[in-house]
Amino acid sequence: MWMTPKRSKMEIDESRAFRAEWTQRYLVVEPPEGEGALCLVCRRLVAATGELDVKQHYEAEHEYYERYVTEDERAALVERLRRGDFPEAATPEQRIARAGLGLARLLALKGCGWGEGDFVHRCMAVMLRDVLPDHVGIMDGIDLSPETTRQRVLDIHQNLRSQLFNRAKDFKAYSLALDDQAFVAYENYLLVFVRGVGHDLEVHEELLTIINLTHHFSVGALMAAILEALQTAGLSLQRMVGLTTTHTLRMIGENSGLVSYMREKAVSPNCWNVIHYSGFLHLELLSSYDVDVNQIINAVSEWIVLIKTRGVRRPEFQALLTESESEHGERVNGRCLNNWLRKGKTLKLIFSLRKEIETFLVSIGATTVHFTDKEWLCDFGFLVDIMDHLREISELLRVSKVFAAAAFDHICAFEVKLNLLQRQVEKNLTHFASLSQVVDELKENLQEDEKVLDLERYRAVICRLQKEFERHFKDLKFIKKDLELFANPFSFKPEYAPISVRVELTKLQASANLWEEYRTKDLGQFYAGLPAESYPIIKGVACKVASLFDSSKICEKAFSYLTRNQHTLSQPLTDEHLHALFRIATTEIEPRWDDLVRGRNESHP
């Protein structure tokens, strides 16, 4: 979860080793062979040995045993479990209920319709009849009817939501991510994600709510819905640190955008200034509109539609069709298709097949006018190259659990790269392989003194993209010192630090013990163990920085879930069911199965 400082390869990461105190706390023991932690209750091996992994397994599967509170009770419980004496073992009815809940969750994760539970039930019955005929009667007790599956999905959603709200009470700081571009086919929902940091600097990223934009069309209504969701979760605006959004007018309009309203509402003597950055989400998708100077995507999407309808059996297109189906299934609407094409990897694959596509278009009598337009071909090559550069930065910004300091470094490095590309594009095409390839092909058929392309157009496009990056991430530059201080507290010069933190920073850098902890522990673990009474300001900076979104991973998960299951999600669904499906698809919290089975979901206002 934490960004790790550089260290020697020979050093052992002790934070991943099994610790004896976990036995009473989480009911696990060190396995006799191999790594991990062996659960005394279910006898399953928790593969990762970080405390968070063990804790999540315990809370999800066995929180029932929290009723054993005192040290003596826990010790006696461990001894009983070691002997195989399990207190109050689950009844057959409870095991059947647990199986039904698990199947409902799996159906939701796969984007299956409510009615597909019956099909799964029949498949399992056939398998048991042939493999375990003595147990085929078990299936009679598992109800996978559409009504029951729908209700179980809602129950799991409420269970996960309650857990999130309980954790949110302890958030020292949090940030929001507002995504109004995930619903590419429908454009009528806003996904609101929260990233919170607790007292131990443990980071949680979860879906907070989904807002129907049809019912909350105005920015004022949207603002009211977000504030209501924050209030329900017990999150005050005084703890909000950051806001990351798409760069649509609804979000960042100068006077009427949602960000302006949020910042105005969050201003108070006790609030941090809200940090806003708007280029984090769907970077490739939205930036492509700035660099597609000749409507390349629209033309290419028409080719793909023809290939999917009339060229599906052609061997040269199988790799392209396979990737298309893995991304959004067999059925795809025009907007989803365009957004898929705006990914650098996809566009590069299509560019490599341009000769085959031209031959195919000729064979079916479709227009091939673009293949004789030298300006259009050059624009195509340029778009492929610039989108490939955007793909590289997008992939870096999808890496989670590294903190905003690392993401800021990637953004700064990309801005330097854009500056380099802008200066070099008029001199040589070293960093524009596809454009260079098109130019070489055109030169073979043109007169010696005929101009092939206007490089000034491309320099202007890169310049515009560079200015967009500066605008979208300018707030992060305002807290550059905070980010550097957080990432490198022992190398940050106190004279460059804010006056309020200089005394604490000097004391910190003078501590040999803290330096050893910083050197050997993950960055988050180091700050979690930093005494708050001795370093309150530095600890506050750590909470502030750790709460900023460091990647677009959770938004990408939602976007991917939608594009893979757009046919199912386009069916009539209530907002509550849609919310439930997306929470299950994006969460890192495990449902508390014991509570669900016993019908003890914690209620929350």
Per-residue pLDDT at 67 exceeds 50: yes
Q: Side by side, which strands form the sheet with 203-212?
A: 203-212, 189-197, 173-179, 240-245, 275-277
Structural contact between residues 522 and 376, judged by C-beta atoms closer than 8 angstroms: no
In the structure, what pLDDT confidence band is assigned to residue 11 with cuts at 50, 70 and 90?
very low
- Best mean pLDDT range from 268-277, 386-395, 402-411, 583-592: 583-592
Burial class (CB in 10 A: 0-12, 13-18, 19+), 252: middle
Residue-wise pLDDT tens digits, 166-180: 999 989 999 999 988
Per-residue pLDDT at 348 exceeds 60: yes
- Best mean pLDDT range from 290-299, 511-520, 567-576: 511-520
Per-residue pLDDT at 605 exceeds 50: no
Q: How far is CA 498 from the centre of its chain?
A: 33
Which of 402, 412, 410 shows the shortest CA–CA distance to 549? Answer: 402
Report the pLDDT averaged over residues 532-549: 90
Amino acid, res. 553: K
Q: What is the pLDDT of residue 267?
A: 62
Q: What is the pLDDT of residue 130?
A: 83
Percent of the chain with pLDDT over 90: 19
Q: What is the pLDDT of residue 8?
A: 33
- Best mean pLDDT range from 118-127, 264-273, 435-444, 575-584: 575-584
- Best mean pLDDT range from 394-398, 470-474, 514-518: 514-518
Which of 125, 119, 97, 95 shows the shortest CA–CA distance to 107? Answer: 119
Mutual angle of helices 553-564 and 575-586, in 10-degree steps: 120
In the block, tokens 């005050």 appear at: 236
Per-residue pLDDT at 136 exceeds 80: no
Retrieve residue 272's tokens.
């941090």
Query: From residue 184, how far is each of 137, 181, 286, 338, 539 by CA, in Å?
Result: 45, 6, 12, 10, 40
| CB within 8 Å of 427: residues ≥ 6 apart | none
Structural contact between residues 429 and 443, judged by C-beta atoms closer than 8 angstroms: no
Q: What is the pLDDT of residue 314?
A: 87
Per-residue pLDDT at 271 exceeds 60: no
DSSP 379-440: HHHHHHHHHHHHHHHHHHTT--SSHHHHHHHHHHHHHHHHHHHHHHTTT--TT-HHHHHHHH
Q: Which long-range contacts (CB under 8 A, 24 or more apart) does 448-455 make?
A: 452/374, 452/378, 453/374, 453/375, 453/378, 455/425, 455/426
Per-residue pLDDT at 274 exceeds 60: yes
- Distance between CA atoms of residues 221 and 231, nearest Å: 15
End-to-end CA distance of the chain: 31
Structural contact between residues 309 and 332, judged by C-beta atoms closer than 8 angstroms: no
List the beta bridge partners of residue 244: 177, 277
In the structure, what pLDDT confidence band is assigned to residue 13 with cuts at 50, 70 and 90?
very low
| CB within 8 Å of 514: residues ≥ 6 apart | 508, 526, 530
Q: Is 186 helix (H, G, I), strand (E, B) or coil?
A: coil
- Distance between CA atoms of residues 508 and 276, nearest Å: 30
Q: What is the pLDDT of residue 604?
A: 39
Strand bridging mode 189-197 / 275-277: unpaired
Which region among 20-34, 60-74, 512-526 has the lowest average model confidence (pLDDT)?
Answer: 60-74
Report the pLDDT averaged over residues 507-525: 89
Longest dimension (CA), the chain: 92
Q: HSE on the CB side for 299, CA within 13 Å? A: 23
Which comes out higher in pLDDT, residue 465 or 139? 465
Phi, psi (degrees; rounded to nearest 5) at 197:
-125, 125
Which of 251, 211, 249 shows the shortest CA–CA distance to 230? Answer: 211
Q: What is the pLDDT of residue 303?
A: 87
Report the pLDDT averaged over residues 133-143: 79
Retrieve residue 497's tokens.
């630090």
Q: How far is CA 420 from the centre of its chain?
A: 30
- Distance between CA atoms of residues 129 and 133, nearest Å: 4
Query: From residue 199, how far is each of 171, 484, 501, 528, 540 by CA, in Å?
Result: 7, 22, 20, 8, 10
Retrieve residue 253's tokens.
């309009």
> What DSSP state is assigned to residue 35?
S
| CB within 8 Å of 342: residues ≥ 6 apart | 284, 285, 288, 297, 387
Report the pLDDT averaged over residues 315-335: 68
- Distance between CA atoms of residues 400 and 3, nearest Å: 9
Mean pLDDT over the full length of the chain: 81
Q: What is the pLDDT of residue 9?
A: 33
Q: What is the pLDDT of residue 155?
A: 94
Structural contact between residues 64 and 41, judged by C-beta atoms closer than 8 angstroms: no
In the structure, what pLDDT confidence band is assigned to residue 581 with cuts at 50, 70 and 90?
very high
Per-residue pLDDT at 362 exceeds 70: yes
Retrieve residue 584's tokens.
């299950």
Q: What is the pLDDT of residue 447?
A: 61
Residue-wise pLDDT tens digits, 189-248: 899 999 999 877 888 999 999 998 888 888 888 999 999 999 999 998 888 998 988 877
Report the pLDDT averaged over residues 382-388: 88
Q: What is the dihedral of CA 494, 496, 497, 503, to 10 degrees?
A: 30
| CB within 8 Å of 91: residues ≥ 6 apart | none
> What DSSP state is assigned to residue 521?
S
Residue-wise pLDDT tens digits, 181-202: 766 545 588 999 999 998 778 8
